[in-house]
Structure 1
Amino acid sequence: MTRRIDSTDTAKALIAVLKEKHGELMFYQAGGCCEGTQPQCFEKGGYYLRMRDVCLGDIEGCEFWVDRDLYEYWKFSHFTLDVLDGFGVGGFSLETPLQKTFKIHYRLFSPEELKDLAPVKTAE
């Protein structure tokens, strides 16, 4: 199966640091104006999912959820979680005190990848 989301080694290293400090984690990426479009990292259960939010998969055992409208717009794209130095748009994500920001890189799936995409799950 073709994964819908992967991560860089830099993102994996930061997730390990955050897990050690906070325990189990989750990611959420919205498409709205207030929270921006950068992924936010929370303690697992620290963000309440809305009906029909979509889980693209997991990174290092952390589910990566997106807003349903964002999913509809980007469903033919592969996400790669990365990290930048500095503060992002939001201030609630767990990496903010470390002066880091999670970021997503997108690319379109190839025709071959589209034939074997991993299924998504939705919040009930």
Structure 2
Amino acid sequence: MATSRLDVTEKAKALIQELSSTHGDLMFYQAGGCCEGTQPQCFEKGGYFPRMNDALIGLAEGFEFWVDRDLFEYWKHAHFTLDVLDGFGPGGFSLETPLGKTFKVHYRLFSEDELANLAPVQRNE
């Protein structure tokens, strides 16, 4: 079995379930900076369109998790864990913002064994 690039904490799973019950299908996008910083943003599916060559690194509770192409190049040797915190993120565009929550990613570098067996990413064309 290939090494996953993405995991989701129990707190994030609960929030994703809450958001999907209200908004339907979701998607996540983690940009490389600007007004939204590098916090992951949660949108209704189709509410944001990944750019060419952005990377789909996995699914968060069945919903696509996209990473900006440049940010992915920087973090391609790291595992992402999607978590949620109380408080407002830097952008405020994400669906959890009105609930006083913000998604956050924790990173760790892959081990040599994990790197040798990484799940492939899908690129947006």
Does TM, scored on the shorter chain, surpass 0.5? yes
Provide the C-alpha distance between the structure 2 equivalents of 1:79 and 1:87, rounded to a whole number of angstroms: 20
The aligned counterpart of 1:23 is: 24
Q: Name the Cα RMSD after superposition.
A: 0.5
Equivalent position SS for 2:120: coil
Alignment of 1:1-124 (within 5 A): 1-124=2-125
Match for 1:29: what amino acid? Q
Deviation for aligned residue 1:16: 0.2
Match for 2:47: what amino acid? G
CA displacement, residues 62-96 of structure 1 (integer Å, 9 cap, x when unaligned): 10001000000000000000000010101110000
CA displacement, residues 26-78 of structure 1 (integer Å, 9 cap, x when unaligned): 00001122211000000001001110010001010010001000000000000
Q: Tell me the TM-score normalized by structure 2.
A: 0.98
The runs of 4+ residues in structure 1 deviating greater than 2 Å are: none
Equivalent position SS for 2:12: helix
Match for 2:83: what amino acid? D
Give % identity: 73
Q: Structure 2: 5+ residue runs without aligned partners? A: none
Provide the C-alpha distance between the structure 2 equivalents of 1:3 and 1:106, rounded to a whole number of angstroms: 13
Q: Structure 1: 5+ residue runs without aligned partners? A: none
